[in-house]
């Protein structure tokens, strides 16, 4: 049976949680010298682990470990905008890998690629010319903690096709490896004025069903949404949830209609409502929702969960995992019905990914 | 040769990098060029494109705040500081 590896990115470095049975977990770390890690991923093809990290002092870099954390290298060679262009990179925010292509999304918004496993990088796209691009480098238009490109997601079959979220602007798709882009925000709601019809939406998290590639879900700043045509159009499915706001989301690996989300208070606190921790699940593509809180703290639990901080594995009985802004990791082996705390006292958690290790 | 003092945060990033070393250089820029030849990638940890020093990396030559073009003399002491910030 493969081992389960949870890759935990935190504000003070990276950590691994490993288990042979998904009951007993061993913590390793911290890695990456305590740099803030925004996203930590595993490449199942090469076995490498990559971390997108940005130090207040030493800038941004992508860290790489080929031996599951025993040794690490780091590089930012090529992750830079032309000094004359006036754009600067404040952080590397998100990673995606497919078929030997490693992408990193950065702030100010841009996508860099590596074809040599993260040793060297080159600029792939800034989505220049897309509606809204004339404004998204303006710091006055950027929300606090701006991530720029906050997420990248490859198509499973076609490495020329991937999706990118520009924080506070919307979702974009390319089918020709970033030569051209199409906004994919039709049907989304926005409760604020917008200058362009197709952008100006605040997409927090995009997930795609493993069982049906046309089925996507997204947690938006305003509402949960579902797509049945791979993001071309969206339908709101918020009704039945306690709030319309949140960050983290996950799809069931085998059932396209089952989806998980963690609603948060939409104000400045952005913690679970009323101090009661809960994950919410739909089994009918958003027509109804069930509150899942067995094993989660139900008193004075003012915890947040960020956009990359929930993951689901691909076992027959899938395991769900999420990490909190207060350093706990919770796991469920029964599709969310019951939860167990498997780590505590970690630094604030930015991302949780899961990998099966042979 | 200038006597260069480096911050403790750099050591774990570049195996074999000492905290103190002597460098033959005429400017701060040349000090960093020397470091880059010996420990590739260290320039990116100290400088932004331009290049300019990163905002939280402070360099002092003989205890005076310096920039990349600040001259370095034969007996200069060069302190590279990771500025106090964050928490």
Give tens-digit pLDDT for A232-256: 999 999 999 999 999 999 999 999 9
Pick the CATH number of B2-82 from 3.50.50.60, 1.20.1050.10, 1.10.3720.10, 3.10.20.30: 3.10.20.30
pTM equals 0.95
Residue identified by tokens 């770390």 is A29
A338: DSSP letter: B
Residues A278 and A322: beta-carbon distance below 8 Å: no
Q: Per DSSP, what are the bridge partners of residue A152?
A: A164
Q: Measure Cα distances from A285 to A238, A250, A289, A327 in Å.
A: 11, 12, 9, 31
Q: Measure Cα distances from A131 to A175, A181, A221 in Å.
A: 18, 10, 20
Rounded distance, CA A306 to CA A350, Å? Answer: 6
A82 membership: H or E segment, kind and range? none
Residue identified by tokens 């990193």 is A104
Domain boundaries, chain A: 1-6+208-220+236-358, 35-201
The encoded tokens of residue A146 equal 């701006």
User: By 3-state DSSP, what share of chain A in percent is helix, strand and coil, each rounded to 5?
Assistant: 5, 40, 55
Show residues of chain B in contact with A63, CB under 8 Å.
Answer: none
Query: Which is it for strands A149-154 and A162-166: parallel, antiparallel or unpaired?
Result: antiparallel
Spell out the per-residue pLDDT of chain A, length 358, in tens: 789 999 999 999 999 999 999 999 999 999 999 999 999 999 999 999 999 999 999 999 999 999 999 999 999 999 999 987 788 899 999 999 999 999 999 999 999 999 999 999 999 999 999 999 988 877 777 777 789 999 999 999 999 999 999 999 999 999 999 999 999 999 999 999 899 999 999 999 999 999 999 999 999 999 999 999 999 999 999 999 999 999 999 999 999 999 999 999 998 889 999 999 999 999 999 999 999 999 999 999 999 999 999 999 999 999 999 999 999 999 999 999 999 999 999 999 999 999 999 8
Q: Which fold has domain A35-201?
A: Methylamine Dehydrogenase; Chain H (2.130.10)
Pairs of CB atoms within 8 A across A/B: 49
Residues 6+ apart with CB under 8 A from B61: B28, B70, B71, B72, B76, B77, B78
Rounded distance, CA B21 to CA B15, Å? Answer: 14
The encoded tokens of residue B44 equal 């990116």
Rounded distance, CA A43 to CA A53, Å? Answer: 17
**Among A183, A161, A188, CA closest to A172:** A183
C-beta atoms of B9 and A57 within 8 A: yes
**Is B13 strand, coil or helix?**
helix
Q: Measure Cα distances from A152 to A112, A155, A169, A238 in Å.
A: 11, 10, 14, 24
C-beta atoms of A76 and B41 within 8 A: yes
C-beta atoms of A59 and B54 within 8 A: yes
How many other CB atoms are found less than 10 A from the CB of residue B87?
A: 4
Q: Give me the interface pTM, i.e. the ipTM.
A: 0.90
Supply the Cα-derived Rg of chain B in whole angstroms: 12
Residues of chain B with pLDDT under 70: 85-87
Residues A165 and A149: beta-carbon distance below 8 Å: yes
C-beta atoms of A33 and B12 within 8 A: yes
Please determine, looking at this structure, whether the domain spanning A1-6+208-220+236-358 carries the CATH number 2.60.34.10.
no
Q: Give the residue on B whose Cα is nearest the Cα of A87.
A: B49
């Amino acid at each position: 049976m493969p081992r389960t590896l949870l890759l935990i990115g935190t504000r003070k470095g990276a950590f691994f949680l490993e288990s042979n049975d998904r009951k007993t977990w061993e913590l390793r770390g911290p890695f990456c010298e305590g740099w803030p890690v925004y996203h930590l991923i595993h490449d199942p093809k090469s076995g490498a682990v990559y971390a997108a990290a940005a130090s207040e002092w030493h800038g941004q870099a992508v860290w790489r470990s080929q031996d599951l954390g025993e040794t690490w290298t780091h590089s930012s060679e090529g992750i830079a905008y032309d000094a004359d262009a006036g754009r600067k990179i404040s952080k590397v925010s998100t990673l995606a890998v497919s078929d030997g292509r490693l992408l990193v999304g950065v702030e100010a918004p841009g996508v860099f690629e590596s074809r040599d496993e993260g040793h060297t990088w080159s600029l792939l796209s800034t989505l220049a010319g897309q509606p809204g691009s004339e404004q998204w480098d303006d710091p006055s238009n950027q929300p606090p903690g701006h991530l720029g490109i906050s997420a990248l997601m490859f198509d499973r079959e076609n490495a020329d096709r991937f999706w990118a979220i520009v924080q506070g602007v919307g979702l974009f798709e390319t089918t020709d490896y970033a030569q051209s882009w199409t906004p994919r925000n039709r049907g989304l709601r926005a409760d604020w004025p917008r200058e362009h019809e197709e952008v100006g939406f605040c997409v927090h998290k995009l997930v795609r069903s493993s069982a049906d590639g046309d089925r996507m879900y997204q947690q938006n700043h305003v509402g949960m949404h579902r797509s049945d045509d791979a993001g071309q159009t969206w339908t709101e499915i918020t009704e039945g949830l306690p709030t319309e706001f949140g960050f983290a989301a996950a799809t069931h690996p085998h059932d396209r209609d089952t989806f998980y989300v963690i609603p948060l208070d939409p104000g400045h606190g952005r913690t679970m409502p009323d101090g009661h921790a809960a994950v919410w699940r739909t089994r009918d593509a958003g027509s109804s929702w069930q509150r899942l809180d067995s094993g989660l703290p139900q008193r004075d639990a003012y915890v947040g969960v960020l956009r990359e901080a929930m993951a689901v594995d691909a076992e027959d009985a899938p395991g769900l995992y999420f990490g909190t802004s207060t350093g706990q990791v919770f796991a469920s082996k029964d599709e969310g019905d019951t939860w167990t705390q498997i780590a505590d006292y970690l630094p604030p958690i930015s991302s949780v990914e899961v990998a099966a290790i042979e | 040769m200038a006597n260069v003092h480096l911050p403790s945060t750099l050591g774990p990033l570049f195996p074999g990098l000492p905290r103190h070393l002597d460098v033959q250089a005429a400017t701060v820029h040349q000090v960093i060029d020397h470091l880059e030849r010996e420990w590739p990638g260290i320039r990116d940890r100290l400088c932004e494109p331009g290049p300019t020093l990163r905002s939280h990396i402070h360099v002092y030559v003989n205890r005076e705040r310096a920039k990349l073009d600040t001259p370095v003399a034969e007996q200069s002491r060069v302190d590279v500081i990771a500025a106090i910030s964050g928490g």
